[in-house]
Amino acid sequence: MKPHLGLLFAGLFTTLCAQAQSPSLTFESAWDRLQAGSDQLAAAQAGVDSKALQSQGLQGLGGPVVQLSAAAYAYNLNLDVNLDTVNKSLSQIGQQLPPSLHAIGISLPQLPSSYSYNRSDTGTTKNISFVWPIYTGGVTDAVRGFVQAQGDEARADADKTGQALMTQLVQRYFGAQLSARAAGLRQAALDDISQHDAATAKMLASGVISRVERLQAQVALEEARRQAQKARSDAELAAVALARTLQMEALVTPATPLFVLTQPVEPLAHFLSEALSRHPGLAKVAAKQAQAEQLHQGQEGLRKPQVFAFGQRQLQTGQADWVAGVGVRWTLFDAVDRDLLAAASAKQIEQAQRTEQQARSDISLLVEKNWRQLEQTRRQFLATEPGVTLAKEVLRLRRAALREGTGTVLELMDADVNLAKVETERAQVAYDYVLALASLLESCGLSDSFSRYASRADVRIEGS
């Protein structure tokens, strides 16, 4: 017995020291820390920022484009000219000259049989040009709208990520609170049962109880010790999970207790209305539909003529070459079937519309399910109150009966264990209520209002 008690007190002392060194953190502080340090949230926000910058960068799409170009060049030109044909022609002409000219020695000269010409030079050229789309059939507006819709989709994904992380934090944070509560209850029951076990040892020595009753007390003590050790291990694991979630090296002691609103929350119609206007899933579907619509507009815009102004001028002093004008480009035929592409983009719009209808139905069903689950858990929690009251009363009566000699130590031990059991079950139902509330708020896109509901709670269950 003594070695067991030594190990028990050593483990309890270690746990108490760890709790004393663990920083206390409210749920709001934990959420702020998770938002600041979550790689998942940071990645989602980077996607939003990327699309926002891309949208800003395309605001001037369709405006004038001015280009400056310059070149430096060098050339060498070689040209060989064959003059035999020319010499023959000159000979023929010379034969036709008057004989009197030949008599005085006048004749046409002969050219070389060939002549080589070489020319080389270096130079530079500079010019400025511009193109200004005047009418593009709505293609540029479609491109800008498409990128903006992509940004809306990225924002919806980021909101969904934040909502899911809030629910995960609720699970880890209040899970650690529940485990701490269960460990405290099991430890309190173990402390009481240890005292009762010591009393049975004295009673056996005095001959008040039989050896069987003494053995039953020892078995009850070992079972209580096992339950306390398991609860303590579960509490440590839950604390580690919470610390890992918050990216903290030290274990965290939750400061915000489990809570329950004994009065019903807002009616189902309120949450349905909020969900159909704020759920990030619907925002994403709307963004997908906007992308499909912009793509369709772009396909239709390619069918229309495009009008643009253009100009170019050499950058030099004196007489400079320049050109300016207005052009029209209209594709009358190409190898791509524009009708089929337009039909395909129209089908994408239809797909997005039908997806939205299905999403509204699914979200409404999910909200109703979560709302009913929350209400059921609330009623279940209220139903646990008589059981806790009864367990406390039974424990009081067992203590009185033992003092009066009408009860047994084993009955008192059973009462201690039963009280710890019903109080743990009550805390578990409170935890289920908190999770149901977080799930309901997430399905409505209202996770950021979780703390507001927590502040309205009229029942709070401390962790230990």
Better-scored residue on pLDDT, 265 or 16: 265
Average model confidence (pLDDT) for the chain? Answer: 87
In a domain, 452, yes or no: yes
Residues 63-82 as b/e (b if ≥16 CB within 10 A, e otherwise) read eeeeeeeeeeeeeeeeeeee
Q: How confident is the model at residue 109 (pLDDT cuts 50, 70, 90)?
A: low
The answer as to whether 43 is a domain residue is: yes
Burial degree of 14 (CB within 10 A; 0-12, 13-18, 19+)? exposed
450: domain CATH number is 1.20.1600.10
Residue 406 has pLDDT above 60, yes or no: yes
Q: What is the pLDDT of residue 103?
A: 54
Mean pLDDT lowest among 19-23, 251-255, 281-285: 19-23
pLDDT confidence band for 100 (50 / 70 / 90) = low
Answer whether residue 72 is part of any domain.
Answer: no
Q: Which range in 80-89, 100-109, 115-124, 353-362 is most confidently predicted, on average pLDDT?
A: 353-362
- Mean pLDDT throughout 379-393? 95
- Residue 203 in any domain: the answer is yes
Q: Are strands 253-254 and 24-25 parallel, antiparallel or unpaired?
A: parallel
Q: How many residues does the chain have?
A: 464
Within-domain flag for 330: no
Confidence (pLDDT) at 464: 58
Task: Give how many domains the chain has, as a whole number.
Answer: 1
Task: Report, as an integer, the average pLDDT of 355-376.
Answer: 96
> What pLDDT digit, counting tens, does each position of 267-307 carry?
999 999 999 999 999 999 999 999 999 999 988 888 889 99
Distance of CA 279 to the CA centre of its chain: 14
**For residue 281, is it within any domain?**
yes
Q: Give the pLDDT mean for 235-264.
A: 93
Average pLDDT over residues 28-47: 92
Kindly report, residue by residue over 111-121, the tens digit of the pLDDT.
677 777 788 88
Question: Taking residues 243-259, what's their average pLDDT?
Answer: 92
Question: Which of 273, 254, 278 lies closest to 448, judged by CA?
Answer: 278
264 within a domain of the structure (yes/no): yes
Instruction: Identify the pLDDT of residue 96.
Output: 64
For range 23-36, the mean pLDDT: 92
d(CA 84, CA 204): 145
In this model, does residue 95 exceed pLDDT 70?
no
pLDDT, mean of residues 402-406: 83
Query: Is 220 domain-assigned?
Result: yes
Q: Which among 18, 29, 463, 20 has a CA at the least distance from the CA of 240?
A: 18
Segments forming the whole domain that contains residue 455: 35-62+137-304+340-461
Q: What percent of the chain has pLDDT over 70?
A: 90
Instruction: Tell me the pLDDT tens digit for each residue of 41-57.
Output: 999 999 999 999 999 99
pLDDT (average), residues 321-336: 86
- Average of pLDDT values for 356-381? 96
Quote the pLDDT of residue 98. 62
Residue 5: the pLDDT is 41
* Dihedral sign (CA 275, 280, 283, 284): negative
